[in-house]
Structure 1
């Protein structure tokens, strides 16, 4: 079967499509025939060697979210049947392949209202958002500021937070403001302006952008509020100086969060935006699009 792998850390030249053995199925796992996989910034960051925690022998397979069809059940699996359409995130690597062996508790039945391509664009954003919401519960009346609201994660965070009753302020570029309004954000702000002079007193700031966004966020939090970063460790000294809290969270496999999100999607409260699809043979081009930083929603590979 095909797998998109890297032979070393580096640029696009290290990416190859290899013929690899079908994965062995262990107890508690599903075999999934992959139809589509989402492409995320972490994929090219791993390729370039920026994720220091990752210790995997070369070559290894990139990718961490997918949608496909169950073709085999191992012992100990309940709640799934052959032919079920499922989606999941196993993070951080191993998904860009024709077939997967995945833990049943890392997946859920995909939203019936979405295509396989749309479903493949959701899992990373869902489990990432869930980790942030676990760090600080979001509910009716929570005042939430979201950086990078038009991106693959930010666009889902906006929708999930609105479904939970939060008052959502979204920061994005001028070109994507109408797009973010369409996601349901209560307030949409041009991130290229001096927005610090116009907004503030947030319970939660969610950073999906990076250190530059964090530096502009400390004064936007109310006393005791929290900055949650998805991309870079926040400065704890700065947090203390402003009388606020700060943390960094990471999405982990979470079938229960995916099942809840599927219900929201089928209720019309959650929908991904697909900017473009590529056949798996063009994985290098897909990652280049994401690395360019101008993606509205998600890029997806098809198999």
Structure 2
């Protein structure tokens, strides 16, 4: 089968098409013939080598979520899965391929009316947005700032915060055009990438969700209200400064909180329940999925160049 491998950490040119044996399902696994593969920010972080010290090596096949049809099942898996359209989580790799293996407990059937492309646009990011807001103890009437809202996590979080009764949903993004698109999804205030601008934007926020991190992250502690909570969901712009916590402690009397969030800490059954609800809502047209572009699998490097250039609004999907 055809797959995409990180031959060299760094630039997107390090991604290459390789021929590999098709996976055989281990006990408890299914094999999915992929129709759509989600391209996420974490894939770019892995490709750059940022997580090289966390078990990722050159030769890694990126991609964590796929959608398609089950073609084979391993020992202990009900044979009725064969032939079903599903969404599947492949772990932290293996998705950029024509076939991918996933544990059956990380596989969900797709409802009628939801395409494979929409499924991988929502499946991972929508669930993260849901549980990140819960991790931040978001409550109706609070003000929320979403840093890096033009990605698939931010786009869903905007919708969920607005529907959850937020008093204000502010977003940071790179252009007025993107800001207007986010307004149509529920944003009330649009800020630039530095968190500036936005007429009559709240003076402070009860909750900040940050998928960007990087050197500017500590400055956002200044924007938190008393008892405000910042939750880091990713490091798209790189790791924050090692001493970033000193900025928070300098505002000790405001009782601020900082947390990281990974969906790995959420039980699989809970993740699946939220995904199923969101898939059904998207199929009914009640939850928007935003696909920036669909590209052939062998154009994965092009997809990553677009992400690195900040061109993507929503999610790029690879179609084997």
> What TM-score does the superposition give when structure 1 sets the normalisation length?
0.88
| Separation in 2, partners of 1:158, 1:265 | 15
SS at match of 1:18: strand
Question: What do you get for the CA RMSD once the two structures are aligned?
Answer: 2.6
SS at match of 2:81: coil
Q: Does 1:245 align with 2:257?
A: yes
Decide which of 220, 224, 230 is 2:223's aligned counterpart.
220
Provide the residue aligned with 2:178 in structure 1.
Answer: 176
| Separation in 1, partners of 2:14, 2:294 | 22
SS at match of 1:211: coil
| Separation in 2, partners of 1:288, 1:222 | 37
Provide the residue aligned with 2:305 in structure 1.
Answer: 288
Q: Given the superposition, is the C-alpha separation of residues 107 and 165 from structure 1 closer, same or farther in structure 2, using an over 3 Å criterion?
A: farther
| Separation in 1, partners of 2:250, 2:14 | 44
SS at match of 2:150: coil
Give the superposition deviation at 1:129: 1.9
Q: Deviations over 1:202-243 (max 9, x none)?
A: 221111222355333223222112101112466333223323
Q: Deviations over 1:48-91 (max 9, x none)?
A: 21113432454221112211112223344469633322223334
| Separation in 2, partners of 1:186, 1:65 | 31
Q: Are the counterparts in 1 of residues 61 and 94 from structure 2 also a CA contact under 8 Å?
A: yes
Range 234-243 or range 29-38, more displaced: 234-243
Unaligned segments of structure 1, at least 5 residues: none
| Separation in 2, partners of 1:293, 1:203 | 27
Q: Given the superposition, is the C-alpha separation of residues 266 and 176 from structure 1 closer, same or farther in structure 2, using an over 3 Å criterion?
A: same
Provide the residue aligned with 1:108 in structure 2.
Answer: 108
Provide the residue aligned with 2:3 in structure 1.
Answer: 3
Unaligned segments of structure 2, at least 5 residues: none
Q: Are the counterparts in 2 of residues 200 and 219 from structure 1 also a CA contact under 8 Å?
A: no
Instruction: Give the number of equivalent residue pairs.
Output: 303
Decide which of 272, 275, 280 is 1:258's aligned counterpart.
275
Q: Given the superposition, is the C-alpha separation of residues 44 and 211 from structure 1 closer, same or farther in structure 2, using an over 3 Å criterion?
A: closer
| Separation in 2, partners of 1:228, 1:205 | 6
Provide the residue aligned with 1:149 in structure 2.
Answer: 149
SS at match of 1:255: helix
Q: Given the superposition, is the C-alpha separation of residues 293 and 191 from structure 1 closer, same or farther in structure 2, using an over 3 Å criterion?
A: closer
Provide the residue aligned with 2:318 in structure 1.
Answer: 301
Q: Given the superposition, is the C-alpha separation of residues 231 and 265 from structure 1 closer, same or farther in structure 2, using an over 3 Å criterion?
A: same
Provide the residue aligned with 1:276 in structure 2.
Answer: 293
Q: Are the counterparts in 1 of residues 37 and 63 from structure 2 also a CA contact under 8 Å?
A: yes
